Amino acid sequence: MKKKRLIIRSVILLVMLLAIGNAFYNHFSAERGIVDEGDIAPNFVLEDLDGNRLELEQLRGKGVYLHFWATYCTYCRQKMQYLRDHYEEYQAKGVEIVAVNVAESQLQVERHLERFDINYGLYLDKDSLVTNAYGVVSLPTAFLIDEDGRVIEREIGAKTEKQVLASLNKLVPGN
Amino acid sequence: MEKVKCDCGHVNPYGTYLCESCGKPLIEDKGTVADMRYEGVARRSQTYSKTIIDKIWNFFSSVKVGIWIIILLLLASALGSLLPQEMYLPRGEQAITYYEEYYGFFGKLFYQLGFHNLYTSWWYLLLIAALGISLVICSLDRVVPLYRALKTQRVTRHEGFLKRQRLIAKTDKLEDAQQEIAKAEKILLAKKYQIRKENGNLLAEKGRFSRWGPYINHVGLIIFLIGAMLRFFPEMYIDDNIWVRDGEVAVIKGTDGEFFLRNNGFTVELYDEDEELYREAMERTGSPAVKSYETAATLLKRSNTGTIGVDTELEEVKDHVIRVNDPLTFEGYSLYQVDYKLNELAEFTFVLEAADEHADQSELADIRFTVDLYDPQTVYEFDNGFRIDILEYFPNFIINDDREPSTMNRIPDNPRLIFAVFTPEMDPEKDTGELSLVGIQVNEPLNGENDYIIRMVDVKMKNVTALTVRKDRTIPILIVGGLIFMVGLVQGSYWHHRRIWLQDRNGEIWVAAHANKNWYGLKKDLQAVAAGSKIPVPTDQKESEEAEQTRKVKEEGVTEDDGRTEQ
């Protein structure tokens, strides 16, 4: 009788605790992105400044550092310079950098490329279609996509050169 | 824990005050009137406290704790309403500066304590959660024993129980006691009492279901709270804003990039300031008043064929004119007209002029070009050999932390352009051209004195509409919770539980009565019984007790009060 009561009480308390805990977790934890760790990265087609098409699926077999950025985002600029400095080294190891500009004009992206001497592909997402499909809400946001097209990490916010290098290392096929 | 066996043979849980069956007081206490709360049953929480689970349970089972939670919630809620919450700050204001700037030290404190987001703070939500737990446990802990006690109550009650009812009286020895009880039964039946009889004794009962009112009320509240809790899940609740420029397409937030909205044109109509009817009101407000505003919108859906990106096709789903209170609805989403921004810069038109006013301007007459501020061209070439390049474009110009010209965002609120002008004699590949920084009210040469001036001659502006994206699947839950709440409230407020015990004790008729509220109605029923039989109207022990007290107070100037109320 007493045991039964204890069990009933424990169950009721547990159920309430779980429900409240779940609601709190949902409210306070960083929201899971539309595309996040473990997902297959949605395929997309974008054009670079010269109108060359890039389809994400064509990069299967390579690690892809998919970087969403804008010219007005200071931390994006820093990251893009780190990426520029190490691009050739990692390209040789089978890592590709895809930098998607979020809804800015061709002119701004072109000037950015010239100003910072960017050596990897800058792609225009004029209508934010890809940006929205990937659930990007703040910049910079990067997706690390492995050689099988699976997202292994979603990175939001500023990163140091060290962190960027660590991310690139993760993307080297076979690592 | 020991169970308590009453003289009548019923076994009561430990802590029982009045025997569940016969009503005999099992715990002696002072005072003439028994405490009838929860029928004198043992609320188990009050008596057991062994494991940690029991201790948590007992904590939340306390009404005192519940009331404190409510008081704290009230105080916190009031506190949060002293200054506007962050979500209600004027557009463009930053919380970090706003509060201090407008409300001084208090504002700064308010912000630093996190009260600018009080209603979503962890401690506020924790209080709400505690209230929910308290509601569940309080109710369970009381309704179960109460239900059992009312179900197992016997007609024949112990003398001690009867004597300590608030309303009690007895007759002298009567020859025809049973006849008198039968008369009373008839009267009570006519008053819609439920009658039960046992050994010549009688229990008349009415409105027992009203005792469940508070608990049904709590069930409604709990459902309501669950509904509110579900708002934390994006599948259940979305509340966001989108801004769409005239003629442009924007994604609808919360739809995972699946739905888009095209703004076919935003229009706003203001009240006519010259009209006599409105003049007085207009002068009072001092600003133009909006009569109506609306967005002609087209809902678009991303087609499932083709890859996202440059090949994406958007299919038109439907057209709708969105007005205040006339939202565009689709698949559980509603888009409401909520705000607008008039005259956002869209295009600049420039001409080129010679700096020297006396110079021949004729060769420049054909140079006129328009810059689309959402997508400017890099190069503008003219038939007469002139060429103008845009070297830099900053839609919302600022000097950034590195002391470089930059843009705050991609909205052309303060656009600046750096132009390079090449005359037919110059080679754009080798020469730098004449540089100038041009914006609204700004035109500065950047490399020495310029021979040519780029002059703005026309500006095109667009309107921007703001829409609220709302999805709320919790509304039905809130409505059901609210309805149940009301049912419980009505049930507990407009019906009253009344009981009358008539007992034949060796020819003496004992009459005792109890109501959980509205004693006046119960007394009237008893007066009706008295009028039709020899059964007397019972005296109110509490009233006589109170009369006694007042007399005492008058004499001695002291008072004793236990301000308890019954549930």
Q: A24 and A63 share a domain?
A: no
Which of A160, A172, A64, A57 is CA-nearest to residue A121?
Answer: A64
Q: How far is B148 from chain A (nearest CA, A)?
A: 16
Name the DSSP class of B212. Answer: G
CA–CA separation, B127 and B131 (whole Å)? 6
- Which residue blocks in B19-121 are alpha helix, DSSP H? 44-47, 52-61, 63-80, 95-112
**Mutation site for B-interface testing, chosen from A20, A68, A128 by largest number of B Cβ within 10 Å:** A20
- Which one, of A148, A155, A172, A128, lies nearest residue A59 by Cα? A148
Surface of B (375-394) touching A: CB under 8 A: 375-378, 390-393
- Asked whether residue A90 carries a pLDDT value surpassing 70, the answer given is yes
Are A5 and A81 within one domain? no
Distance CA B42, CA A129 (A): 65
Question: Under an 8 A CB cutoff, do A9 and B57 touch?
Answer: yes
Q: Do A72 and B137 touch (CB under 8 A)?
A: no
Report helix, strand or coil for B30: coil
Q: Is B52 near chain A, with CB under 8 Å?
A: no
Instruction: Compare all CA atoms of chain B with the CA of A42 and give the residue at the minimum distance.
Output: B308
Q: What is the pLDDT of residue B564?
A: 43
Domain count for chain A, please give it.
2
Nearest by CB: A135 against B136, B256, B401: B256
Does B53 contact A28 at a Cβ distance shorter than 8 Å?
Answer: no
pLDDT recorded at residue A71: 84
To the question of pTM greater than 0.90 for the whole model, the response is: no
Provide DSSP, chain A: -HHHHHHHHHHHHHHHHHHHHHHHHHHHSPPPPSS-TTSBPPPEEEEETT--EEEGGGGTTSEEEEEEE-TT-HHHHHHHHHHHHHHHHHHHTTEEEEEEEES--HHHHHHHHHHHT--SEEEEETT-HHHHHTT--SSSEEEEE-TTSBEEEEEES---HHHHHHHHHHHSTT-
Please give the pLDDT value at position B92: 66
With contact defined as beta carbons under 8 Å apart, do A86 and A168 qualify? yes
Neighbours of B86 (CB within 10 A): 18
Does A107 contact B302 at a Cβ distance shorter than 8 Å? no
Same domain membership, residue A38 and residue A17: no
CB of B498 closer than 8 Å to CB of B515: yes
B245 CA: distance to closest CA in chain A (Å): 13
Distances in whole angstroms, Cα of residue B275 to Cα of each of A58, A133, B271, B289, B460: 66, 50, 8, 13, 30
Does residue A46 share a domain with residue A97?
Answer: yes
In this prediction, residue B476 carries a pLDDT of 93
Q: A-B interface: how many C-beta pairs under 8 angstroms?
A: 110
Distance of residue A86 Cα from the nearest chain B Cα, in angstroms: 23
Contact A128 B377 (CB under 8 A): no
Domain ranges of chain B: 355-451
Q: Are residues A115 and A75 in the same domain?
A: yes
Q: How far is B410 from chain A (nearest CA, A)?
A: 7
Does residue A25 share a domain with residue A38? no
One domain, residues A73 and A51: yes
- Whether A79 and A116 share a structural domain: yes
Mark whether A22 and A49 lie in a shared domain: no
Q: Is B56 on the interface with A (CB under 8 A)?
A: yes
User: How does DSSP assign B102-126, residue by residue?
Assistant: HHHHHHHHHHHTTGGGGGGSHHHHH
Nearest-neighbour CA in chain B from A106: distance (Å): 7
Among residues B192, B213, B292, which one has the least CA distance to residue B500? B192
Pairwise CB contact (< 8 Å): B308 & A107: no
| Chain B residues close to A10, C-beta within 8 Å | 53
Percentage of residues of chain A with pLDDT beyond 70: 95
Residues 6+ apart with CB under 8 A from A92: none
Q: Are residues A68 and A147 in the same domain?
A: yes
User: By the 8 A CB rule, do B47 and B14 touch?
Assistant: yes
Domain around A4: 1-30
What residues of chain B lie within 8 A of the CB of A26, using their CB?
232-233
CB contact B403 to A (< 8 Å): no
- Which residues from A are below 8 Å from B140, CB to CB? 12
Q: Do B410 and A72 make contact, defined as CB atoms within 8 angstroms?
A: yes
A67 has pLDDT over 70: yes
Query: pLDDT (tens digit, 0 to 9) for every residue of chain B, 567 residues total?
Result: 567 788 778 888 777 888 877 888 887 766 677 777 777 777 655 556 678 888 888 899 888 999 999 999 999 999 999 998 888 887 667 788 888 888 989 999 999 998 988 988 889 989 999 999 999 999 988 888 888 888 888 888 888 888 888 888 888 888 888 888 899 999 999 999 999 998 889 999 999 999 999 999 999 999 999 898 888 887 888 888 888 888 888 888 888 778 889 999 888 888 777 777 777 777 777 677 778 888 999 998 887 766 777 777 788 888 999 988 889 999 889 999 988 888 888 889 988 888 777 777 777 777 888 888 888 888 888 888 888 888 888 888 888 777 878 888 888 888 898 888 888 888 777 778 888 888 888 888 888 777 888 888 888 888 889 899 999 899 999 999 999 999 999 999 999 999 999 998 888 889 999 998 888 999 999 999 999 888 888 888 877 777 777 777 777 654 444 444 444
Check if the beta carbon of residue B370 is closer than 8 Å to that of residue B349.
yes
- A56 & A15 share domain: no
Q: What is the ipTM of this complex?
A: 0.74
